[in-house]
A and B are shown apart, each in its own frame.
Chain A
Amino acid sequence: MLNFSRWAVFAIILPLAIGVLCAVPSFLPDSVVTKLPGFMQTRVNLGLDLSGGSHLLLEASTQDVAKQRLTNMEEQVRTELRRGDPRIAIGDISSRDGKLSFMVRDPSQVDAAVERIRPLTQGAGLTGQRDFNVEVVNSSTIVITPTEAGIKNAVKSAMEVSTEVIRRRIDEMGTREPTIQQQGDNRIVVQVPGLQDPKALKALLGQTAKLEFKLVDTTANPSEVAQGRAPVGSEVLPYVNNPSGVPFIAVKRQVMVSGEDLTDATQGYDQSNQAIVNIRFNSSGGRKFGQVTSQNVNRPFAIILDGKVLSAPNINEPILGGSAQVSGSFTVESANQLAIALRSGKLPVNFVVVEERTVGPGLGADSIRAGLIASVVAVVAVAVFMFVSYGRFGMYANLAVAINVLVILGVMGILGATLTLPGIAGFVLTIGTAVDANVLIYERIREERRRGRNVVAAIEHGYKEASRTIFEANVTHAIAGGIMLALGSGPVKGFAIVLLIGIATSVFTAVTFTRMVVANWVRRTRPTDIHI
């Protein structure tokens, strides 16, 4: 065991050197790191508990998605059957208990109706699974039921779109390095370092930003509107700022132009210095808007956001330039938020904040300082203790621990892992395990010496016997760490990451590396007795 070939030495030193090198950027200031080449920018991210900032856990309402799909389906069925050729008359449309059912007036057309609906219910996926089941009940009623797989797919795609939309919205806020990640089936984690007051962030994520322009139904009877009844082809929507005092207004169901046709939205001011949002349509949206406004001069239209009417201005002249103003009692801040939300697209589903954690920068800085001081003191205490107990060998162990700490930081940097407060505790404990490995080895060497083995044999035996125990102990640790990583959330995870990386690196530094150092020393000095 005393001879390490040149290759073996190289194979031990190289990974350690790379690990240590990767830890270096974590200690350099921002300005230096950005000048380094990309592969050297391996920095450990600080968790929110250390850097300060906001953590939000958003949950999408899956029922919303299901409901939305059913509404869309209803709309599609109407268009397909009523507008198609031949026209199929239907009635009694209702969507209850998550099912859509309607009656075909002429029983002889039922089969034709089913044929026409069939293509709408086909999933987009390649698996050939249906998104909806279609069945005929009582020979004239058609029931459309969404399938499990269909809902699952819809939620999945809604979550993908939402993650993207949320990312765009937060990027627009100009915050640095946010983390946006989907968690589980219907949750999204948003972490924004340095953000002190997540109020604006929550307001921004809270609106779905579905913008629609619809004509106001001026034929509606005001007293009926107040009771929530609208003429055929129209609907009653809430309108809080209605100058007439009634908080409702009747608008045509048909959409003039919607937010999908937007290319840009910016905050601005109107003539009376009120905050507004300027929007710009794409060419087809601009054409539609121009057409409708030309045909409806001197009639009002409604600007609707997330199902609520913001304002209902009069069309004074055709609006042909492809741009428009959205007014509606905004503050500069809320107009700006709406502009961001419109630019980034609408969220396909509603989100609720189910968990929120905010750490102030002061506390974060305190925690870093306390954590650092404690770590340094812990390391020094352990190092002194090791030296006092094992002399020269203790110093070898200390060297191994120092390298180990740097390598863990380096590996975390390479993996882009996050260091949290429990992570620091994980560090201290890793130091403990690494030292334990050396203690096991050295105690064994002491024992073997007492039994009368010579120096070389004692060292060889000590490493061999202890290695087995160390391996077993680390497997059990890895089991615990793996479970923490799989099941834990937040702090537990941060702890487990450091622990797992530490298990891997500490075996290497505490066993292989020290063995090489010890072997080197023994070969050079050929001691007849060792002080251990």
Chain B
Amino acid sequence: MKLLKLVPDNTNIGFVAIRKWAFALTALLTVLAVGATAHKGLNLGVDFVGGLMIEAKFPQAVDTDKVRSTIGRLGVGESSLQQFGDANTVQIRLPLPDQGGAGAANAVVEKTRQAMVAQFPGVTFSRYDTVSGKVSGELIQNGVLAVVLAILGIAVFSWFRYEWQFGVSTFVAIVHDVLMTLGFFAITQLEFDLNIIAAVLTIVGYSINDKMVIDDRIRENMRKYRKMDMKALIDLSVNETLPRTVMTSVTILLALGALLLLGGHVLRGFTAAMMLGIIVGTYSSVYVSSSLLISLGLTPQTSDKKAAKKGDYAGTAERVGPRDDGAKP
């Protein structure tokens, strides 16, 4: 049986040579993403803005305008409706009543339910969330904090582990990945809720993973070929790891694709974000972060100095994985 090889042996693509183009394209896309986020804004879910979210399931396809007018007559504030999943499911968003606290929110749900049942017999509320402004503020704060801390924590880790250039290039690439994801949500206006924060954190984790693998190889080659030109060395490292980069991305995209198509509507935004993140993350690993090392002035000598200073550090790294536990050959 002939085994599948997505990337042929001895592939040698000159990634470093085209880095100026890649940087320009990346910068352009990032600016576009930031612009889109600033201009259109994110479609923040009730988790982050507070309010009331009802998911109503109708026995047959329903006209959202009719639903809107039914709710409009109740005087419970301006509703925003969205077809969700299929034609039978509508997501209704309402503002929280200004006064009256929890009881009032409950009354709104009840009122809406009665009016809807009267107008559309057989309708059921398959889910509803009420989040007060106070809680939603905290959720935003914690979500943003989690993402920022994760990026910083990982960048610091790779800085201590390698040279500072690796920390900076990883940091830049990760910020790029996050901004692109935000831009995607701004353009598609998919709902941005707590789940998406988990997705963003996973994207960060994965993207880092990619960069670690390549950075690790660059460092290994720097020790192996002390005289090699830095550009050639980075190209060599990226190409050597390319089969793995592509294999892993394809595998994960396969898994996520299954989740996107079959995982139900609740997870759709989550998986879409993740797929985009994997693609963007892979791109930034291959085209941006490693080439950026050259622009940041990484030379084989910097590595030597660090190795001399922390000689045994690199030594222990070799033995980190389980190698000889058990027996000698």
Q: Which of A1, A5, A370, A490 contacts B262 (CB 8 A)?
A: A370
Tell which of A15-23, A33-41, A466-474 binds the partner.
A466-474
A490 vs B256: C-alpha distance when bound (angstroms): 22
Q: Which of A4, A366, A471, A480 is within 8 Å of B264, CB to CB?
A: A366
**A5, A377, A446, A465 — most chain B CB neighbours (10 Å):** A377
- For the complex, what is the distance from the CA of A389 to the CA of B161, rounded to whole Å? 32
Counting CB contacts under 8 A, is B240 at the interface?
yes
- Grouping DSSP codes into helix (H, G, I), strand (E, B) and loop, the B interface class, with mixed when no group exceeds half, is helix
Residue contact A421 to B135, C-beta cutoff 8 Å? no
Judged by a CB distance under 8 angstroms, whether B130 is at the interface is yes
Return the contact of A359 from the options B127, B158, B270, B327 (Cβ within 8 A).
B127
- Expressed in whole angstroms, the minimum distance between the Cβ of B118 and any Cβ of chain A is 18
Known contacts being A473-B212, A489-B194, A495-B198, is A425 close to B270, with CB within 8 Å?
A: yes
Given contacts A371-B264, A446-B243, A464-B321, contact A352 B102 (CB under 8 A): yes
The winner among B6, B105, B326 for most chain A CB atoms within 10 A is B326
B325 interfacial contact with A, CB 8 Å: yes
Question: How many residues of chain B have a CB within 8 Å of chain A?
Answer: 89
A440 at the interface (CB under 8 A from B): yes
Main SS of chain A's interface residues? helix
Contact code string A21-61 (vs B, CB < 8 Å = 1, else 0): 00000000000000000000000000001000000010100
Whether A374 is near chain B, meaning CB under 8 Å from some CB there, is: yes
Alpha-carbon separation in the docked complex, A422 to B154 (Å): 23
- Bound CA span A90–B161, Å: 71
**Are B262 and A389 in contact, CB atoms less than 8 angstroms apart?**
no
Contact B248 A435 (CB under 8 A): yes
C-alpha gap A428/B278 in the complex (Å): 14
Q: How far is the CB of B267 from chain A (nearest CB, A)?
A: 6
Contact A479 B198 (CB under 8 A): no
Q: Shortest distance in angstroms between B300's beta carbon and chain A's nearest beta carbon?
A: 20
User: Which residue of B124, B130, B247, B258 is within 8 Å of A439 (Cβ)?
Assistant: B247
Q: Which chain B residue shows the least CB distance to A519?
A: B326
B324 close to chain A: CB less than 8 A: yes
**Inter-subunit contact A464/B323 (CB<8 Å):** yes
Report yes or no: A476 in contact with B146, Cβ–Cβ below 8 A. no
Chain A residues within an 8 Å CB radius of B202: 429, 480, 495, 499
**A354 CA to B137 CA, complexed, in Å:** 12
* Given A370-B264, A436-B248, A515-B322, residue A484 in contact with residue B198 (CB < 8 A): yes
Known contacts A5-B327, A388-B3; A428/B212 CB under 8 A: no
Which among A366, A381, A390, A492 is the interface contact of B198 at CB below 8 angstroms?
A: A492
Interface pair B251/A436, CB less than 8 Å apart: yes
Q: CB of A356 within 8 A of chain B?
A: yes
Query: A173 near B: Cβ within 8 Å?
Result: no
Inter-chain contacts of A473 with B (CB < 8 A): 208-209, 212-213
Q: Give the contacting residue for A480; candidates B3, B154, B258, B323; CB below 8 A.
A: B154
Chain B residues within an 8 Å CB radius of A359: 126-127
A487 is contacted by which of B149, B195, B263 (Cβ under 8 Å)? B149
Partner of A1, one of B209, B220, B323: B323
Which chain B residues lie closer than 8 Å to A366 at the CB level? 264
Q: A386 on the interface (CB 8 Å rule)?
A: yes
Decide: B126 and A362 in contact? CB cutoff 8 A. Answer: yes
User: C-beta contact mask, A492-514 vs B, less than 8 Å → 1, else 0?
Assistant: 10011001000000000001100
Residues of B with C-beta under 8 A to A469: 212-213, 216-217
Q: Contact: A480 with B150, CB < 8 Å? A: yes
In the complex, what distance in Å separates the CA atom of A484 from the CA atom of B4?
Answer: 37
Q: Counting CB contacts under 8 A, is A268 at the interface?
A: no
Closest chain A CB from B136 CB (angstroms): 9
Tell me if B312 counts as interface (CB < 8 A to partner A): no
Are B326 and A488 in contact, CB atoms less than 8 angstroms apart?
A: no
Q: Per a CB cutoff under 8 Å, which of A371, A378, A463, A479 touches B254? A: A378
B248 touches A484 (CB 8 A): no
In B247-266, the 8 Å CB interface with A consists of: 247-248, 250-252, 254-259, 261-264, 266
Interface status of B157 (Cβ within 8 A of chain A) = yes
Q: Taking CB as reference atom, which chain A residue is nearest B10? A: A450
Contact flags B1-22 to A (C-beta < 8 A → 1, else 0): 1011110011000000000000
B247 touches A360 (CB 8 A): no
Residues of A within 8 A of B328 (CB): 3
Residues of B with C-beta under 8 A to A531? 1, 3
A391 at the interface (CB under 8 A from B): yes
8 residue pairs, one from A and one from B, having the closest CB atoms = A467-B321, A370-B264, A8-B326, A353-B102, A378-B258, A378-B255, A374-B263, A363-B126
List 8 contacting pairs A-B, 8 Å CB cutoff, sorted by A. Answer: A4-B326, A8-B327, A433-B209, A465-B220, A473-B209, A483-B149, A484-B150, A492-B197
B residues within 8 Å of A by Cβ? Answer: 1, 3-6, 9-10, 55, 57, 101-103, 105-106, 110, 124-132, 134-135, 139, 142-143, 145-146, 149-150, 153-154, 157-158, 161, 194-195, 197-198, 201-202, 204-205, 208-209, 212-213, 216-217, 220, 240-241, 243-244, 247-248, 250-252, 254-259, 261-264, 266-267, 270-271, 274, 317-318, 320-329
Contacts A370-B267, A374-B259 known; list 15 others, CB within 8 Å: A8-B325, A360-B126, A436-B244, A436-B251, A447-B240, A460-B329, A464-B321, A467-B323, A469-B212, A477-B205, A479-B154, A487-B145, A492-B143, A492-B194, A496-B198
